[in-house]
A and B are shown apart, each in its own frame.
Chain A
Amino acid sequence: MQNPIQLIGRATLGLFGEVGRLAVFAGRVKIAAVTPRWYGGEILRQMVRIGFYSLPVVGLAAVFIGAALALNIYEGGSRYGAEQFVPSIVVLGITRELGVVITGLMLAGRVSAGIAAEIGAMRVTEQIDALETLSASRYRYLYAPRFIAALITLPMLVALADVIGVMGGWLVSVFGLGFDSTVYLRNTLDFVTTNDILAGLIKAVVFGGVIAIMGCYQGDRSQAGATGVGRAATLSMVGAAVLILAFNYVMSTLFVEIGL
């Protein structure tokens, strides 16, 4: 039986070690992303994989979230005779929080785990060693393109999720709750501000970085064959999801402080 103090100490040291390794890795990816050489073809290929192929899942998630949000706000608001606030609260909730968080979480599952599994498989089949022996840095050829692609495509996906989410709320409100379509849309457009949209898009850039880096980091560290690759995929998804929620809270607080 181990001393509980030793166990706590070991866990704490392990946590700090992991955070340190992740920070160093993230630093190297960022340096590779902002200095030449850039692999344009790889960046485009990753933009298609991360962005285009995520459209269905992000669109479906957004429409259902928007619809459920409208329904719940209507239900809660009706207790105080405040049903007319449905369009404004839906658009605020979607643009500042739900659109970006839901997109981030969906991509933590679809993209981050996918990147970790792909890179993990490359690691255990010696493809990453092969890459290095062919004088191509894995940071430049594999990780930076995924990082750059995620930074670019996440805001695009979030912008789309915002529109689709608001449309989900509109659908339920107009066809289920008896709102007038024109009034709903006018209230939405009158209420939403550039800052609301900007806040979501800034978060999207950060979440894009988190998703790509967690996937690449866990894939890079994976060992021990199929089990290791599976573990890398799980860890990247869980890690990215937790970091997205944590960063979301920190950034929301910061945006409130600075009036964004």
Chain B
Amino acid sequence: MTDTLLKLEGVEKSFGKNQVLRGVDIDVARGQSLVIIGGSGSGKSVMLKNALGLMTPDKGRIFFDGEDVTKATGKTREKMRARIGMLFQSGALFDSLTVWENVAFRLLNSEGTRRKDAKERAIETLKKVRLGADVGGLYPAEISGGMQKRVSLARSIISEPDLIFFDEPTTGLDPITADAINDLIREMVGGLGAAAVTITHDMASARKIADEIAMLFEGQIIWRGPAKDVYASGNAYVDQFVNGRADGPIQPAI
């Protein structure tokens, strides 16, 4: 057992001639909330998919709870994923299943929980993200984008994971709903004592969620520090990004 729950060491990933990750080094400790900021195309989502094992890095190593899981398959990968929750940018709810079946998916399909018990736990978890039991019987297409994010959040925490990834949790939401999601994330992570890795370019969200913030630029972590220091980082790239200025060392992606 180590304090570091997740560690990426020199991770590189290319797609053809496009090198997206150029040696990412980052770690997250138990109970810590780390937010990774960076512009579009900086490699945030690719880094997250490598950490989750949805992609295999070309170089470098990934450790989860001290174990090298870079090329883990089968039971090792399953064991690791059972301890991880993930909130996808789009929510990624299964259209063909009701809201409660989405929330209870892991219980029903991986943990073998009885349907009645799984439903009870799903409804309880929906309450934690402030959704009523009546929502449980609806299909994802019948609820709003903000509610879908909350359902996805409920799905990511139902098994009380040790680590939760949040991919752009507030994208596409109005500021009030986005703030409510930030509160929920803070509350859920604090309540579970889980580590959290959030990738976002929403600075309001980053400030609210993070203990520490790291910035990914051109496939490398170029700065990391406490959330309170992000506006006084002394790094020209970070300054430009957090203040949302078009002029500076980072060229706008247009």
Q: Report which A residues bind B (CB closer than 8 A).
A: 39, 122, 125-127, 129-136, 141
Contacts and interface: CB of A to CB of B under 8 A. Distances in A.
Given A135-B106, A136-B105, A141-B109, A130 B88 contact: yes
A126 B89 contact: yes
Contact of B90 (A39, A126, A132, A136): A126
28 contacts: A39-B109, A125-B92, A126-B88, A126-B90, A127-B93, A127-B94, A129-B49, A129-B92, A130-B86, A130-B88, A130-B92, A131-B94, A132-B53, A132-B54, A133-B86, A134-B105, A134-B106, A134-B109, A134-B110, A135-B78, A135-B81, A135-B82, A135-B109, A135-B110, A136-B105, A136-B106, A136-B109, A136-B110
Contacts of B99: none
Contacts of B110: 134-136
Interface of B: 49, 52-54, 78, 81-82, 84, 86, 88-90, 92-95, 105-106, 109-110, 155
B6 to A, nearest CB: 14
Given A135-B81, A135-B110, A136-B110, A130 B49 contact: no
A122 B89 CA distance: 14
Most buried by A among B52, B53, B78, B110: B110
Given A125-B92, A126-B88, 6 more contacts: A127-B93, A129-B52, A133-B84, A135-B81, A135-B82, A136-B109
Contacts of B94: 122, 127, 130-131
Contacts of B54: 129, 132-133
Contacts of B81: 132-135
Contacts of A132: 53-54, 81
Contacts of B93: 127, 130
A134 B109 CA distance: 9
Nearest to B88: A126
Nearest to B89: A126
B185 to A, nearest CB: 17
Contacts of A133: 52, 54, 81, 84, 86
Contacts of A130: 86, 88, 92-94
Contacts of A39: 109
A52 to B, nearest CB: 17
Contacts of A129: 49, 52, 54, 88, 92
A131 B78 CA distance: 12
Contacts of A134: 81, 105-106, 109-110, 155
B82 A125 contact: no
Of listed B78, B84, B86, B155, residue having the most chain A CB within 10 A:
B86
Contacts of B78: 135
A86 to B, nearest CB: 47
B164 to A, nearest CB: 11
A3 B170 CA distance: 51
B201 to A, nearest CB: 18
Contacts of B92: 125-127, 129-130
Contacts of B89: 126
Contacts of B106: 134-136
Nearest to A137: B78
A125 B105 CA distance: 17
Contacts of A126: 88-90, 92
Nearest to A132: B54
B83 to A, nearest CB: 10
A125 B94 CA distance: 10
Contacts of A135: 78, 81-82, 106, 109-110
